[in-house]
Structure 1
Amino acid sequence: MPIDAAKALAAGPRTGEISWTPRDVQLYHLGIGAGSPATDPGELRYTLESRLHVLPSFATAAGARPPGVISGLSVPGVEVDLARVLHGGQRLTLHRPIPVQGRASVTSRLTAVYDKGRAAVLVLRTDAAGEDGPLWTEEAWIHVRGEGGWGGERGPSIRLDAPAGEPDRVVERAVRDDQALLYRLTGDLNPLHADPEFARRAGFERPVLHGLCTYGMTLKAVVDTLLGGDVTRVRGYDARFAGVVYPGETLRIRMWRREGEVRVAVSAVERGEAPVLTDTAVHVQWHP
């Protein structure tokens, strides 16, 4: 079996150092669609160094390090074809606001390997800490098609009850044709998002947008729409990647305001509202 669960889980944690500058933050923000209209004061919070605020989802790209999907496949006991790999979900917990410029130590390890029958799911946890203490914790759920069925633990469900009632807000966000090419400059060089031949081998008609780009676009929409642009009110963010997005499509983002959180559902307009993000919640601090 290409995945040796016992060996992968026994592997020790990997540690490293990362750093980032305002330019890295600006590139990330541009990669998720910030900056349009270019002179909008709300957009300048993401693009102009003298006004810069850091969207919390930047944590997934800080330090231009390989994303969780790629990092999780470099663990001993995991030898799989990248074309069979998809990002299944992401969980982010913020311990304090991310500074515009900083350094951090990061520690990553596989915390679980689940047998879903037709697939295996790897859970990679990464903790980042700066000089003043913890900054963030993230979990990437890595879905490997065709690698299940060995009789292992199935693992918990990350499904949430569907939000009741009409959404409080609905917005649409266009995905540029070149968005994946720009976003990959933040560090995620998986050829699935740029190479047509590789995308076809993976079962897609053409390159798809990074799940973490959709993740960032969605969080920005929530912050701008319901949180008054205040990135410090985000405490955490969980999402399940239910389907792909193709560059050039339009995202429809539905938001339900709840106690302590915003529930979110994202779909692709041009493909009959095909689900993109489900079981999604942004954990927030509401103002009194």
Structure 2
Amino acid sequence: MPIDAAKATSAEPRITELAWDHKDVQLYHLGIGAGAATPEKPHPATDPDELRYTLESALHVLPSFATVAGGGMALAGGLSAPGIDVDLAAVLHGGQTVTVHRPLPVRGRATQTSSVPAVYDKGKAAVIVLRSETADEDGPLWTCDTQIFVRSEGGFGGDRGPSARLELPERAPDLHTERRIREDQALLYRLSGDWNPLHADPEFAALAGFDRPILHGLCTYGVTLKAVVDTVLGGEVSRVTSYATRFAGVVFPGETLRLRMWREPGRVQVSVTAADRDDAPVLADTVVAHD
């Protein structure tokens, strides 16, 4: 069996050295739509609030940058961990949580410690849970929990894992907005380190069952956090303390995301759907916690 759950969860943590600077941050922000027009910002290239994502002298770092810092080595390490040997064409991102311990610096060097705390058996699929904890010389920076969904790898008799879902509030959303995904968004986003050909190569996408390449789930993840920070938190990236989601459906480049937001004490709950496909679910169980 390609996945040996016991071997994966008992393996020694993997240590990776990370480094990044302002160019990596700017490229990531561009990859999730910074500088593109939105309903709120019709002239983004010169909008002072938008320049905080694109201009090095005014740069602030979105916490979701943690998923690609140093080239996104946590996810790559998880798929090459002892006991795990899977086909990339069968892999989808199941969910993602980033917990921020302090604001992310524009440039830095850090040590990332990665492990596989669990492998769940969903019957027809397996879910690999990867945890990476990142710290620099001043202490902890962030913790990432990643759920990797691997088709056709279940049925090994393991724990099914948690299955609770977060219901949306019954009242109307407090805010809503849309974000159009550029046709070349996946090609730009992958330059931050996720080279899975599923997001660029039509032939590879066909092997995975798609008629064309799909957008990275973590790109949608970043687009959503930026929208919440911009519309609810006044652009203050440092207010975010954690951000969690479950990837409920795919996004194709060129589509428009519809975001609905509900303000609650200390957090924002978000629904993300594909406006072009009758609001097909894209992100679910999505919460941005803030101070």
TM-score, normalised by the number of residues in structure 2: 0.96
Amino acid at match of 1:171: T
Is 1:120 the counterpart of 2:139 in the alignment? no
Name the counterpart of 1:29.
29
Q: What is the alpha-carbon distance in structure 2 between the residues aligned to residue 38 and residue 257 of structure 1?
A: 29
Is 1:14 paired with 2:21? no
* Partner deviation per Cα, 1:173-194 (whole Å, 9 max, x = no partner): 0000000000000000000000
Distance 1:196 1:277 in 2: 24
Q: What SS does the aligned partner of 1:65 have?
A: helix
Question: C-alpha offsets along residues 143-194 of structure 1, whole Å, 9 cap, x if unaligned?
Answer: 0111111211111125212222110100000000000000000000000000
Deviation, 1:199, is: 0.3
- Percent identity between the two aligned chains: 68
Name the residue aligned to 1:63: 70
Q: Using the alignment, how far apart are the partners of 2:77 and 2:271 within structure 1?
A: 27
Contact 1:66 1:188 survives alignment (8 Å): no
Tell whether the 8 Å contact from 1:243 to 1:275 is kept in structure 2 after alignment: yes
Give the match for residue 133 of structure 1. 139
Indicate which of 237, 258, 262 corresponds to 1:256.
Answer: 262
Figure out how many residues of one structure are paired with residues of the other and give that number. Answer: 284
Letter of the 1:50 partner, please give it.
Answer: S
Conserved in 2, the CA contact under 8 Å of 1:54 and 1:231?
yes
Aligned to 1:183: 189
Letter matched to residue 213 of structure 1: C
Q: Which amino acid aligns with 2:241?
A: R
Alignment of 1:32-47 (within 5 A): 32-36=32-36, 37-47=44-54
Aligned to 2:57: 50
Q: Secondary structure at the match of 1:38?
A: helix
> What is the DSSP-based 3-state SS (H/G/I as helix, E as strand, rest coil) of the residue aligned with 2:159?
coil
Query: Residue by residue, what CA displacement relative to the aligned partner does 1:258-286 show, whole Å, maximum 9, x if unpaired?
Result: 1111000100011110100000000011x
Aligned to 1:247: 253
1:196 aligns with 2:172: no
Distance, in Å, in 1 between the alignment partners of 2:26 and 2:35 is: 10
Q: 1:158/1:61 Cα in 2 relative to 1: closer, same or farther (>3 Å)?
A: farther
Give 1:64 deviation, angstroms.
1.4
Secondary structure at the residue paired with 1:227?
Answer: coil
Residue 168 (structure 2) pairs with residue 159 (structure 1):
no
Distance in 2, Cα, partners of 1:112 & 1:256:
32
Which 5+ residue runs of structure 1 have no aligned equivalent? none
Q: State whether structure 2 residue 214 is matched by structure 1 residue 214.
A: no
Distance 2:207 2:264 in 1: 41
Gaps of 5+ in 2: 37-43
Do structure 1's residue 4 and structure 2's residue 4 form an aligned pair? yes
1:67 Cα deviation after fit? 5.2
CA RMSD between the two structures: 0.9
Q: Is the 8 A contact 2:74 2:114 kept in 1?
A: no
Q: Which amino acid aligns with 1:278?
A: A
Report the secondary structure of 2:45's partner residue. Answer: coil
Secondary structure at 2:46 match in 1: coil
CA 1:66–1:17: 2 relative to 1, 3 Å: closer
